[in-house]
Amino acid sequence: MPQLSCRVWAAAISIFLAALPAFAEETGLAVSKNGIGPAAVGLISAPALSENSDYSEYWEQQFLFNNNTLATSQFLIANLPFSKHHGMQVATLKQSGKDAVVIKNGRKRSGWSFSASEPMLTIFQHRLSGGTPDFSLQLHNTAAELDVSFAAPAGALPVVAAGNKLGLPQITLYAPTARAQARWRSGPEIGGPGPDGPWHEIGVGFGYGLHVVQQKVPNTVLSRWWRFTGAPSKAAVNPVLHAFETPKGKRYYALYLLAGDGTAIRFDVNEFKAGDNGEWLLKAKADGKTLVGSITLTDQLETFNLKDQLNAIEALAAGSMADVTRLRYAASYSFELAGNGTKTTLEGTALAEDIQMGEMKEKRRRKRR
């Protein structure tokens, strides 16, 4: 990743600290007098376990490694027609030039647990645990085993607040930008030796952890969700963007710049265009500072739709909640950060995703007899 010179880096930090206090109240970040950012600790929190029939909640992790391997995982709790507070874990391991390895299991309420002392969420033999800065993801079934250790020093960042006017789900980045290290081994389901076989090192990479709580069927309030996470670097500030579009065409944005010490500024997005040519254009401001530039999708890593991984009963129960197409990319970015008479170029690599929700299908009404 391109490095900033000491002089440019000092200028960027001065811009950051000048703007940070003005955004403390808006973003919900606790900021100390010296300007060092979010005090909120990110952790694997206890599921809400809402009684709402449309309730679902998940913890999602995505990591891109130096060899272009993509690892994703989602721990989901949902109220399904046949199973209240049903637990499911779905993961993919996509190596360059190879078919994705899918690690998936579902369990009713008695088949999963949460431990507050760890904290740790366990679904079948799959475990997600930790709190700022150290987290662990351990997946294990007959398809494969995957171990990911990831560190996120920035703490938790709010993306969408509960009870927002657009009805979007509550979203928090419990690990906004993280460094990761992983290994895996194949199981007998895909022709591997299983627990007696050797581990294969995936290497180092970066990614993020996300927590989502939904009280409505997702595609009734959301039609598109763009995500973008810059690779962490001690010598640069890293951008994180989440952009949402509702079925009625309304937009909502959460854009942060994160420094290596965890300091964060939230920007207001003035313009965001995701073109079909693989380029996303962005313009934003923060208390007189501006951020302008582009995101380039350099390599499509994976196309994923959950309903393709479900059996007939699961797909029927999940309904439109599972009809989500996810296009995942390796990306690069180039932004100009300007303010206080100083201009700084921010460049680097990133992980990006374009999430497209399926159309809502009306339920047939039963005729009264």
Tell me the per-residue pLDDT of 297-346, one tens digit each, with 9 for 90 and over.
999 999 998 777 776 666 655 555 667 899 999 999 999 999 989 999 99
Q: Say how far apart CA 224 and CA 247 lie, in whole Å.
A: 8
All structural domains of the chain with their residue ranges: 6-357
State the burial class of residue 364 (Cβ atoms within 10 Å of its Cβ: 0-12, 13-18, 19+).
exposed
What's the mean pLDDT in 238-256? 97
pLDDT band at 7 (very low <50, low <70, confident <90, very high): very low
9 pLDDT above the threshold of 60: no
Token duo for residue 200 = 């294969």
Q: Say how far apart CA 284 and CA 329 lie, in whole Å.
A: 23
Q: Say how far apart CA 95 and CA 343 lie, in whole Å.
A: 38
pLDDT band at 369 (very low <50, low <70, confident <90, very high): very low
Token duo for residue 3 = 């490095």
**Mean of all residue pLDDT scores within the chain:** 86
pLDDT of residue 316: 58
Report long-range pairs for 80-87 (Cβ below 8 Å, ≥24 apart).
Answer: 80/317, 80/318, 81/317, 82/313, 82/317, 83/108, 83/109, 83/317, 84/109, 85/47, 85/49, 85/109, 87/111, 87/112, 87/123, 87/124
pLDDT digits 0-9 by tens, 159-186: 999 999 999 999 999 999 999 999 999 9
Identify the residue whose tokens are 């009404």: 365
Q: Say how far apart CA 250 and CA 130 lie, in whole Å.
A: 35
Q: Say how far apart CA 87 and CA 102 lie, in whole Å.
A: 17
CATH architecture of the region 6-357: Beta Barrel (2.40)
pLDDT digits 0-9 by tens, 22-31: 333 333 333 3
Q: Find out whether 69 and 144 touch, Cβ atoms under 8 Å.
A: no
pTM: 0.86
Instruction: Look up residue 100 and give its amino acid.
Output: A
What's the mean pLDDT in 92-120? 96
Low-confidence winner among 30-34, 232-236, 304-308 (lowest mean pLDDT): 30-34
HSE at residue 256, side-chain half, CA atoms within 13 A, is 33
Low-confidence winner among 65-69, 78-82, 238-242, 326-330 (lowest mean pLDDT): 78-82
Q: Find out whether 88 and 76 touch, Cβ atoms under 8 Å.
A: yes
Phi and psi, residue 264, nearest 5° = -135, 140
Q: Say how far apart CA 67 and CA 203 lie, in whole Å.
A: 8
